[in-house]
Amino acid sequence: MFRAIVVRKDPNDPTGKALSIAVESVGEELLIEADAHSVDIRVDWSTVNYKDALALTGKPIVRKFPLIAGIDFSGKVESSRDPRFTPGQAVVLNGWGAGETHPGGLAQRARVPADWLVALPDSIDPRRAMAIGTAGYTAALCVEVCTQALIRDGIETGAGDVLVTGASGGVGSIAVALLAKVGHRVVAVTGKADQAEWLRSIGAAEVLPRSDFDAPGKPLGKERWAGAVDCVGSHTLVNVCASLRYGATVAATGLAQGMDFPASVAPFILRGISLVGVDSVQCPMPRRKAAWARLARDLSGPILDTIAAREISLQEALGLAPELLAGRVLGRVIVDVNR
């Protein structure tokens, strides 16, 4: 038996819609069946990403019941019939449907197809991997899009401001740190005015209030940003597009303000800007490995320690979820699945 956060259809709800979400002691029947391509993992750490918070508060993320929640985990291989993995090896899993249609990572054990696992670089142990989590890995994917566009356009690091929205959240804070590390002048947008100093400490050169971005704006604004990472969507993303410099690119990955995109084509057809979507769930393996290599190279240990300063238990993850959805959580929170 092992402990896990399990999402079930509530047996007492006659409509069949209500969910029960709790820490339970469960058996192997909640894992997939072992086969020649599956790997068994002793999970050490998981985390609460935005999507986890949606799942843990009963939003329609989980699509198969009962299911172990958690879109990511890190730990050590216990057994593998696939020759790419050996017992004791440190691995990380992000996405692929874990915690949505496949048993997830908020548990002491996991079994997944070998094709889904990334062997951790030597400098990233399992705890650090979940301090980074899917949020940080997604930030690295966004930074890759953003920096490749800057290189393509011949814009040297520091020659233009790079904007990050939702900057105090998991994706945003790690994007700020990664962009600053390679020399960009990073402008952070936040709703947490009291965290401006903290954002400067992790790499922001300037901090702007969320209220500058989150209301309906003009189709075209002053050209300001050489590049951008947006974690927020809705009016914020529209306003970011309207204020990108000629030819610049925004990497869009989030919907913290909303899923809508009430935009004008003006910045696209008059300034040649690009909006590039970033998905972490089905992202091909070579880009995942490149993202983890960037995190190993560019994310400083002390900065990550301030971003992911909080460790909680499986039970506490349930209480954290509504706080995170309300935008009240700073940086990243790590879940010790064995606590």
Ligand X SMILES: NC(=O)c1ccc[n+]([C@@H]2O[C@H](COP(=O)([O-])OP(=O)(O)OC[C@H]3O[C@@H](n4cnc5c(N)ncnc54)[C@H](OP(=O)(O)O)[C@@H]3O)[C@@H](O)[C@H]2O)c1
Site of interaction with ligand X (CB under 6 A)? 49-51, 134-135, 138, 166-172, 190-192, 210, 214, 231-232, 236, 253-257, 278-281, 324, 327, 329
Give φ, ψ of 112 to 5 degrees.
-140, 160
| Cis before 209 (ω within 30) | no
Task: Work out the number of other CB atoms within 10 angstroms of the CB of residue 22.
Answer: 12
Q: What are the C-alpha distances in Å from 91 to residues 73, 106, 127? A: 8, 15, 11
Beta carbon nearer to ligand X, 30 or 54:
54
Write down the least CB distance from residue 210 to ligand X, Å.
Answer: 5
Structure tokens at 149: 């566009």
Beta carbon nearer to ligand X, 77 or 118:
118
Residue nearest to ligand X (CB): 169
Among the listed residues 218, 219, 238, the one whose alpha carbon sits nearest the alpha carbon of residue 228:
238
Dump the DSSP string for 142-211: HHHHHHHHHHHTT--TTSSEEEESSTTSHHHHHHHHHHHHTT-EEEEEES-GGGHHHHHHTTEEEEEEGG
Determine the Cα–Cα distance for residues 180 and 173; give it in Å rounded to an integer. 11
Beta carbon nearer to ligand X, 85 or 292:
292
Determine the Cα–Cα distance for residues 149 and 165; give it in Å rounded to an integer. 18
According to DSSP, the residues that pair with 334 across neighbouring strands are 47, 311
Order the strands of the 67-68 sheet from edge to edge: 19-26, 2-9, 67-68
Pair 303, 203: CB distance under 8 Å: yes
Determine the Cα–Cα distance for residues 325 and 323; give it in Å rounded to an integer. 6
Determine the Cα–Cα distance for residues 20 and 26; give it in Å rounded to an integer. 15
